[in-house]
Amino acid sequence: MATQIAVLKGDGIGPEVVGQALLVFQAAAARYSLELIFREALLGGAAVDATGDPLPEETLALCRQSRAILLGAVGGPKWDRLPAARRPERGILRLRASLGLYANLRPARLSPALVEASTLKREVVEGTDLVVIRELTGGLYFGTPRGIERVPDGERAVDTLTYTTAEIARIARVAFEVAAARRQKVTSVDKANVLASSELWRRVVEEVHRDFPGIALEHMYVDACAMQLIRTPRAFDVILTENMFGDILSDEAAMLTGSIGTLPSASLGAGTALYEPIHGTAPDLAGKDVANPIGAILSAALCCRYSLGREDAAAAIEQAVERALASGLRTADLARPGEPTIGTAEMGRRIAESVAAA
Ligand code: IPM
Ligand code: MG
């Protein structure tokens, strides 16, 4: 029986990059005999326009009955003034919460072909290979109370940062397991010198660490981590952190690799998993065939690895991307001044052909 993948293209450059990811996914499916069925649904601004709801009931139902979800990106200036509940971003947050996708894996590995594309010096970034494990369903993104209320001298806004022992323990476990298959080091990032939630975080991470004696654990404050990431990125293997710190640090980590356009992510929970590039909708690039599809394409590779259990297809896609970059193919975000560039569709086509020929 064919495995169903839900496809949520989203907004801005989402449809273009996911279009190319599908092309590559289909090439890998043909080459490695994966029986897949892709079914599209609306999410984000596109869903707001069509139904008034950034996560329509049909979309959630399709996702629930699919093995995995391939997502583009959501949001854009057109919807920025809507009330919070109807903004595109609420759609993806509700999707994460509804499917219990608590573990967000964001690998940032510098392709040798892109050393010169990084804004940092070669001797600093060369050899960077880390993964941010971001807790995705807790913390400030979901804590209550939240909102804006009237007070005598104006308004007052509140967000709440909560974490329970269980929430911390399960994400810490993921980080140690991921580290076990890598270079055996976890850097847990918090703000334990100020925040109560971080104090608990640090304590629980240490308790879970007892089950993983072979893994080195260090703790780092988030401000120091932001600094060390651009100072000695090679020193990091697995970065474990809460939701909002992970949002910020993963964008920073992405830039080590040359462009945020190349990085994929996997969001895992108990059932359906979600795969998406970490970049946003880049409204200024939308519809111009200039966006980099590699983050979306590598998200399809992660889907093969984690949801389909097909390391062969995952590695084939990753190697095809590596070959494309090594042969000098560049989208505009990766090109140095004067270097020739190709568009979104050509990059996708070249990688798909390379997968088919492997
Ligand atoms: C991300 C994005 C989202 C987040 C937005 C779109 C809600 O920035 O996936 O990193 O903040 O989690
Ligand atoms: Mg982000």
What pLDDT shows up at residue 355?
Answer: 98
Same domain (yes/no): 126, 247: yes
pLDDT digits (tens, 9 = 90+) for 166-175: 999 999 999 9
What pLDDT shows up at residue 212?
Answer: 98
Same domain (yes/no): 236, 353: no
- Within a domain: 114: no
DSSP for 266-330, please give it. EEE-SS-EEEEESS---TTTTTTT-S--HHHHHHHHHHHHHTS--HHHHHHHHHHHHHHHHTT--
In total, how many domains does the chain have? 2
Find the 96 Cα to ligand 1 centroid distance in Å.
11
Give the position, in ligand 1's atom list, of the atom nearest the Cα of 96. 12
- DSSP lists the bridge partners of residue 5 as 38, 68
Same domain (yes/no): 220, 136: yes
Contact 93, 60 (CB under 8 A): no
Interatomic CA distance for residues 230 and 225, integer angstroms: 9
Question: Where a domain ends, among 251, 275, 290?
Answer: 251
Instruction: Tell me, yes or no, if 251 is annotated catalytic.
Output: yes
Question: Where a domain ends, among 236, 251, 266?
Answer: 251
**pTM for the structure as a whole:** 0.95
> Which residues does a 6 A CB cutoff place in the pocket of ligand 1?
75, 89, 92-93, 247, 278
- Within a domain: 266: yes
Active-site residue among 102, 247, 275, 333? 247
Find the 250 Cα to ligand 2 centroid distance in Å.
7
What pLDDT shows up at residue 258?
Answer: 85
CATH number at residue 158: 3.40.718.10
Instruction: Please give the residue range of the domain that contains residue 245.
Output: 119-251
- Within a domain: 112: no
Find the 48 Cα to ligand 2 centroid distance in Å.
21
Mean pLDDT over the full length of the chain: 97
Spans in the chain with pLDDT lower than 70: none
Question: Where a domain ends, among 208, 223, 251?
Answer: 251
Q: What 3-state DSSP class applies to 213?
A: coil
